[in-house]
């Protein structure tokens, strides 16, 4: 029998039954496509090499994540490997932890772990294995139903990121970079539990760092700061061009204004988009 990591947060962060989950994800992607269409042509974002996406419950950040995942539609049959990095929330680890599993499962089915990708990381001292780190971790799991919906046939390389340097994360990404068949996804929310206006200001500053490929993002700015900083280091080396796709916070959904969590989706392209915003400030007006 395959060693499968079962869904841990189905019914909590996203719908727990397959029919409702499939409908929820499909509707979110359809609305994202309509929003992008209303905003005008989006060809520059049609082929991202990497994405930063939020990982809260779908009711809070699902629409923001969907706007990034909708960009993958033209690559549905091309992307065959997804390198997925997210921060650990429950179990501390040193470095980047692979799961002790052959597949991840959601209500939409199983996603096979890419054994070849695992082999490519052999010899890197910062890469370990930890069943515990993955067992209840939501930052990776909540991305899977979107990926299962927008991609046709892919394998997964999931990494739970703990105490690691940007260089250690970037080294892992370099090993797995590949070509157009490989997508990198970094799972991260932004600020936590500020008031609504302070969150908008803080998250705006964080996004300016990301959009200018500046590292040094703290965990107060983003819970996934470690993999984000590693991606930014790799992106500088590879000449990627970042673009803000969507930004919001939990108060935009709930109406809460005193304690909110910030979310954003950012795409990274391997060539400079012809129609990209002329300035970071212009990009920050994207919603």
This prediction has a pTM of 0.91
| Residue found under tokens 């429950």 | 90
Give the pLDDT score at 36.
73
**How far does CA 101 lie from the centroid of its chain?**
21
CATH code for the domain in which residue 235 is found: 3.40.830.10
Helix extents (H) in 151-224 = 166-176, 196-211
Helix (H) or strand (E) holding 243: strand 241-249
Domain count across the chain: 1
Residue 111 belongs to domain spanning: 4-283
Give the CA angle between residues 193, 199, 205 to the nearest 5°: 135
Q: Nearest to residue 235, comparing CAs of 220, 217, 222, 223?
A: 217
Per residue of the chain (287 residues), what is the pLDDT tens digit? 469 999 999 999 999 999 999 999 999 999 999 877 665 444 444 579 999 999 999 999 999 999 999 999 999 999 999 999 999 999 999 999 999 999 999 999 999 999 999 999 999 999 999 999 999 999 999 999 999 999 999 999 999 999 999 999 999 999 999 999 999 999 999 999 999 999 999 999 999 999 999 999 999 999 999 999 999 999 999 999 999 999 999 999 888 889 999 999 999 999 654 444 433 444 444 33
Q: How many CA atoms lie within 13 A of 274 on its CB side?
A: 4
73: CB partners within 8 A, 6+ apart: 33, 150
**How far does CA 249 lie from the centroid of its chain?**
16
Q: Nearest to residue 109, comparing CAs of 228, 40, 25, 234?
A: 25
Give the pLDDT score at 34.
86
3-state SS class at 204: helix
Please, which residues bridge with residue 185 across strands?
A: 51, 84
What distance in Å separates the CA atoms of residue 287 and residue 273, rounded to the nearest whole number?
A: 18
């Amino acid at each position: 029998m395959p060693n499968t990591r079962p869904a841990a947060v189905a019914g909590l962060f996203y719908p727990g039954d397959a029919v409702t989950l499939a409908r929820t994800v499909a509707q979110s992607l359809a609305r994202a496509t309509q929003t992008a269409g209303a905003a005008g042509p989006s060809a520059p974002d049609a082929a991202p090499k990497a994405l930063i996406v939020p990982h809260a419950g779908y009711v809070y950040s699902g629409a923001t994540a969907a706007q990034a995942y909708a960009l993958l539609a033209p690559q549905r049959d091309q992307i065959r490997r997804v390198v997925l990095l997210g921060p650990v929330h429950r179990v501390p680890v040193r470095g980047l932890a692979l799961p002790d599993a052959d597949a991840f499962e959601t209500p939409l089915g199983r996603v096979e772990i890419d054994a070849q990708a695992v082999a490519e990381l052999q010899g890197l001292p910062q890469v370990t294995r930890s069943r515990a780190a993955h067992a209840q971790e939501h930052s990776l799991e909540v991305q899977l139903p979107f990926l299962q919906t927008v991609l046709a046939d892919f394998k997964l390389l999931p990494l739970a990121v703990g105490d690691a340097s940007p260089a250690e994360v970037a080294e892992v990404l370099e090993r797995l970079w590949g070509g157009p068949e490989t997508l990198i996804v970094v799972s991260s929310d932004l600020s936590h539990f500020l008031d609504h206006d302070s969150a908008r200001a803080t998250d705006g500053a964080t996004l300016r760092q990301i959009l200018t490929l500046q590292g040094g993002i703290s965990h107060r700015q983003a819970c996934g700061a470690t993999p984000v900083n590693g991606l930014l280091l790799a992106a500088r080396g590879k000449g990627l061009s970042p673009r803000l796709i969507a930004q919001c916070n939990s108060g935009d959904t709930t109406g809460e204004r005193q304690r909110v969590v910030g979310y954003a989706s950012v795409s990274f392209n391997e060539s400079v988009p012809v129609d990209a915003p002329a300035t970071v400030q212009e990009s920050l007006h994207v919603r």
